[in-house]
Structure 1
Amino acid sequence: MAGAPSLISFPVRRGERQLVAPARPTPYGFKMLSDIDDQDVLRFYRSGIFFYRGNAPRAGLDPVKVIRSALAEALVHFHPLAGRLRELQPTRKLVVECTGEGVVFVEADADVRMDDLGDSLAPPVPCYDKLLCEPESPTAVVVDRPLIYFQVTRLRCGGFIFGFQICHCMADGTGIVQFLTALTEFARGVPGAPTVRPVWERELFMAGWPPEITYDHQEYAPLPDRGKDMAIPGDDVFAHHAFFFGPSEIAAIRSQAPPALRSATSRFDLVGAFMWRCRTAALRFDPDDLVRLSLFVERARSGTGAAGRCRRLCRRPFGYALQLLLEAKARASQEGYVQSVASFNAARRRPPFPKARTYLISDVTQAGLLAVDFGWGRPLYGGPATIMLATFHLEGRNEAGDAGILVPMRLPAPAMEGLKQQVRKELTAYGAIENDGDKINSNLVPGPVLAKL
C-alpha cells in the first residue's frame, strides 16, 4: 500500500454553520443514558471521515444537498441525536433532552482533486482540521451542545469528503454505522428506509440498586508511577505511521502462537498482541514497569484490560502476550460482566479511565465503514480522521491489492522509529519479510508524518 501524502495542504472554503433539524416533528422527552454510556472517558467527539470519487451517473447531483436532505429524514427516526445532553446533579448523570433542535451542518469546497491525495489514505488524513467542524481532542464538553457535527466538502474532480464528529456517549462504532447506514439509504432513495429501525434500550446497561460489582475491574486500577509514560511526553514531536498486516504477516504471527490457540485466534487478537509487545519494547519502559492493554468492546461499550511486566512481555515468547489478551476478552464475555462494569461506574461515580502506560485498541474492521455509500459508490477511505488515545484496527489493502488490517499509530518520533524497527525485527524473525541487508521488504506503509501537537 502506497503512503498517503499527508503533508499536502489545500485551501478549504467553508460556509456558515447551519442547524439541520428533523424533517418532521419528533417526540419531546428525556432519555437516560446507561451507566456505561456516560463514563468520563467517552465524553468527547469521535471523528469519522469518508473520501468519495466523482460518479458519472450522479454528476448532476450536489452531494451537499443530497446529504443535508437525507440527514433531516434520518433524524426523524434517530431523533435523540437532534437533542442535547443534560447533566443531573449531584451525580453528573447524563440524560438526553429530546428537543429536536438539530445537528450542525457545514458545506464546504476544497481546491484539490482526489488524485492529489494519493491512494493510501490513513489517519491523520490530509488537512483533517479543515475537513471537520470542531478541533480534534480526546476530551470535550458535551453537555448543552449539538451531538453531531457534519461537514461535506466538494472537490474539484466531482468527488467529495464527508466528515463528522459525534458525541461518543451516544454511540459506539456499531451504533454510528447503523445511523450512517440509515442516512445513506435516504440519500440513495431506498424505499422504506431506514431498513433497520433504531432501538434505545439503554436500560440494559443500567446498574441495579444497590450496585452489584461481581468482577475485579483491573482496567480502572491506576498504575503506579503514572508520570513514567513515554507515550505522553509533553511537547515532543509526534509521528504517525500506518502498519499493514496482510495474509503473509498474519500467517507468520499465527505461527508463533501456541499450537492450541492457532486455529481459533482471530486476526484482531494476533495483531493486537503483536503490536502491544512491539510498542512496549519501542517505548523502552523499565523492565519492572507494569504496562497495560485495554480493549474496547463494541456494542457493550465497555472496556477490559490485561497487564504484565515489561520484562516478561518483551522477553517471553509471543504466546505470553497473546494469552493475556485472550484472558481479558474471555472475562468481558462472561455472564454479568457488562452489568458489573455498569455497577462499578455507578458506585464509583464514573471513575477516570487510566491511560498511563496503556495501549488502547479497538477493532472496527467488521463495522462496515467501507460499505457507507451515499450513491457515489464505496469510499476510498472510511474511518477516524486522526488517532488520539486509541488505536483502531481498520480494513486496508497493500500495494498488491491484498486485503488486511491497517493499524495507524501515533507516538513520539523517536519511539515511532523504534517501533518500526521492532516490527521489522519481529516479522523478519517470523519469516514474514525478507531481510536483505539495508533493503527490507517491509509491510510498513511509507511514512512517517510529523506533526506538532
Structure 2
Amino acid sequence: MASLMEDIHFPHLSIPVTVKHKEAVLPAGPIPVNHGDTLYLSNLDDIIGCRVFTPTVYFYHSTPSMSKNVVEKLRDALALVLVPYYPFSGRIRETSNGKLEIFFGPNQGSLIVEAHSSIALADLGDLSTPNPSWSPLIYRFPNEEPYKVVDMPLLIAQVTYFRDGGFSLGLRMCHCLCDGIGAMQFFNAWATTARVGTLVASPKPCWDREYFLPRDPPLINYPHIEFMSVVDESSLTRSLWEVKPVQKCYKVTKEFQEQVKSLAQETNKDTNYTAFDAMAAHVWRSWVKALDVKPLDYELRLTFTVNTRHMLKNPPLKDGFYGNAVCIACATSKVEELIDHPLPWTADLVNRARLSVNEDYVRSTVDYVEVRRPKTLEFGGKLTITQWTRFLLYESADFGWGRPAYAGPIDLTPTPQVCVFLPEGGINADGMLVCLCLPETACKRFEELFCLIDKA
C-alpha cells in the first residue's frame, strides 16, 4: 500500500535574490473608470478569509525559444490584459462600516519586479513539491504587515532570473478580486496574450459584484458555524501554534484515491461519494489521530470551499464572472467520533456538508456577513482543506515557454491548520499532492495512518 503514497522530501535552501527594478504596470488603453471612481465588492469578496494575498510560484527551465526579455514580455502582456481586467489596476480601501471597495486614483497599477539570483535553477533540486525556502521568489514590501490588502497593488509579480537561464514567476493576487476559478481565468488571459502577442480575454471578464447584494432585510437561514468564534479548549492550538510545525507533502496516486473512495462507499451504496469526499475525510481522521487531540468530547470543524457557479439560477451568474463565487462548507464531529467511527461515517459528514451548500445557503452567507461582518480569522478546532486539483495550474501558465516545471503555493506554515490538495505536475500525471503541516513528533504517526487505508 505504501507504494501508492510517497512522502516527498524537499531541500532546505538559502536563495540569494537581488531586486534590480520595480515598475508599476498600467492598462495599455482606456478603461471605464476615472480617478475617484469606486467599484463594489460583494460580501463574498471582502469576507475575512479573502482579505489576503494568494502567493504562488511558477518555474521555467531555460529553452532555446526563451527570450532574454521575459520581464518586458510579461509586462506588455499584463498591460494589455489590464484593460478588460481593469480592477486589478486599482486599490482597496475600507469604508465607514468596515466594508471594502475598489477605488481608482493616480499612481496605481499592478506591480512587476525584476530580480536576479546568483544560483542556478538546477540548484533548487526537486521542483515537484512546494518548498517554504522559495519564499524570496515572492515580492513583499519592506516591513509589510501580515494580511495587509488595503492600499496595496492588487497583483504583484516578481520575475527572478537564475544563473543558468531559467526563471521563476512569483505572484501575489489579492483574493478579494477573485476566487481560484477567477484567478485561473485572469492568469490564462495573461499567459495567452503573452504567447500570441495580442490581447486574448475569453470569456469576456465580467465584474458584476452587485449580483451578490444582500437582501433587504437580510435573511440568515443557517447557523453558519463555519464562521463561529470558539474558544479552542483542545490541544490543537498547542500542537500546531506553540511549536513550529513542518510542512509535509505526500504524492498520492490515482489508484490510492480510488481505493479510499471505494472504502468510503463500502457501507453506503445509496450515496455517491466523490474522491474529494473520501480523501478529505481520510486526511481529517488521520490528522486528528496523529495529533492525538484532547479532550475526546471536543467539537472539531472541517471547512472547505464549494464552487457555487452552477447552482446560481435566479438569475444565473454571467459567463466570465471572475469574482468570489464560493461558499464555505463545514462538517463537525467530536474527536472521539472521528476516532471511533470508520471512514464511511466521516465521508458521509463531508458529503452532507458539501451538498448543504445551495443557492439559498449562498444568499444566507451574504446576509450573515452583512449583519455580523466577522473581523478575525477563526482557527479554533478547525482544519481547512483547499482543493487546487480542479484548477488548470499548469495548462494555464504557458506564456510562450511551455508548461512550468512547477506551479502552485510555497509555504503553508503561516497557517498550519490548512491542507492543500495540489495537482501532480508531470505531463499526463493523474495523481495529486496532499500538503499539510504537522509537528515533527506527529509526522510518522500521520504517515502510518494515512497509508493504512485498508484498515481505516
Equivalent position of 2:247 in the other structure:
240
1:395 aligned residue (407, 415, 423): 423
Calculate percent identity across the aligned residue pairs.
Answer: 28
Q: Distance in 1 between matches of 2:17 and 2:375?
A: 40
Does the residue aligned with 1:327 lie in a helix, a strand or coil? helix
Q: Deviation at 1:275?
A: 0.2
Does the residue aligned with 1:362 lie in a helix, a strand or coil? strand
1:189 aligned residue (188, 193, 196): 196
Is 2:354 the counterpart of 1:329? yes
Equivalent position of 1:359 in the other structure:
383
Equivalent position of 2:42 in the other structure:
34
Q: Deviation at 1:346?
A: 0.4
Is 2:135 the counterpart of 1:128? yes
Unaligned runs of 5+ in 1: 431-453
Equivalent position of 1:345 in the other structure:
369
- 2:22 maps to amino acid: R
Is 2:290 the counterpart of 1:282? yes
TM-score (norm 1): 0.87
Q: Distance in 1 between matches of 2:443 and 2:216?
A: 47
Equivalent position of 1:272 in the other structure:
280
Unaligned runs of 5+ in 2: 1-5, 308-323
Equivalent position of 1:314 in the other structure:
339
1:150 aligned residue (151, 157, 162): 157
Q: 1:138 to 1:379 in 2, by over 3 A?
A: farther
Is 2:431 the counterpart of 1:404? yes
Q: Distance in 2 between matches of 1:37 and 1:109?
A: 35
Equivalent position of 1:386 in the other structure:
411
Asked if 1 retains the 8 angstrom alpha-carbon contact of 2:306 and 2:329, the reply is: yes
Equivalent position of 2:265 in the other structure:
258
Equivalent position of 1:160 in the other structure:
167
Q: 1:397 to 1:62 in 2, by over 3 A?
A: closer
Q: Deviation at 1:167?
A: 1.5
Asked if 2 retains the 8 angstrom alpha-carbon contact of 1:14 and 1:107, the reply is: yes
Q: 1:136 to 1:370 in 2, by over 3 A?
A: farther
Q: Deviation at 1:373?
A: 0.7
- Once the two structures are overlaid, the 10-residue window that deviates more, 35-44 or 374-383, is 35-44
Equivalent position of 1:23 in the other structure:
28
Q: Deviation at 1:264?
A: 3.3
Asked if 2 retains the 8 angstrom alpha-carbon contact of 1:255 and 1:262, the reply is: no
Q: Distance in 1 between matches of 2:16 and 2:378?
A: 39
1:171 aligned residue (166, 170, 178): 178
- Once the two structures are overlaid, the 10-residue window that deviates more, 167-176 or 218-227, is 218-227
- Once the two structures are overlaid, the 10-residue window that deviates more, 160-169 or 343-352, is 343-352
Q: Distance in 2 between matches of 1:15 and 1:319?
A: 55
Q: Deviation at 1:419?
A: 1.6
- 2:421 maps to amino acid: H
Q: Deviation at 1:172?
A: 1.1
Q: Deviation at 1:410?
A: 1.3
Q: Deviation at 1:261?
A: 5.2
Q: Deviation at 1:394?
A: 0.7
Q: How does 1:49-64 map to 2 (within 5 A)?
A: 49-58=57-66, 60-64=67-71
Does the residue aligned with 2:236 lie in a helix, a strand or coil? coil
- Once the two structures are overlaid, the 10-residue window that deviates more, 281-290 or 246-255, is 246-255
TM-score (norm 2): 0.86
- Once the two structures are overlaid, the 10-residue window that deviates more, 112-121 or 176-185, is 112-121
Q: 1:391 to 1:2 in 2, by over 3 A?
A: closer
Asked if 2 retains the 8 angstrom alpha-carbon contact of 1:246 and 1:402, the reply is: no
Asked if 1 retains the 8 angstrom alpha-carbon contact of 2:161 and 2:168, the reply is: yes
Q: Distance in 1 between matches of 2:156 and 2:238?
A: 29
Q: Deviation at 1:226?
A: 4.5
Is 2:113 the counterpart of 1:106? yes
Q: Deviation at 1:183?
A: 0.8
Equivalent position of 1:292 in the other structure:
301
Q: Deviation at 1:232?
A: 5.8
Q: Distance in 1 between matches of 2:84 and 2:149?
A: 22
Asked if 2 retains the 8 angstrom alpha-carbon contact of 1:112 and 1:156, the reply is: yes
Q: Distance in 2 between matches of 1:253 and 1:301?
A: 26
Q: Distance in 1 between matches of 2:197 and 2:408?
A: 24
Equivalent position of 2:315 in the other structure:
none
Q: Distance in 2 between matches of 1:24 and 1:252?
A: 53
Is 2:13 the counterpart of 1:8? yes
Q: 1:408 to 1:190 in 2, by over 3 A?
A: same
Asked if 2 retains the 8 angstrom alpha-carbon contact of 1:106 and 1:133, the reply is: no
2:101 aligned residue (72, 95, 102): 95
Q: Distance in 2 between matches of 1:266 and 1:104?
A: 40
Q: Distance in 2 between matches of 1:141 and 1:65?
A: 28
- 2:391 maps to amino acid: A
- Once the two structures are overlaid, the 10-residue window that deviates more, 338-347 or 256-265, is 256-265
Give the length in aligned residue pairs: 425
Is 2:434 the counterpart of 1:427? no
Instruction: Give RMSD over aligned pairs.
Output: 2.6
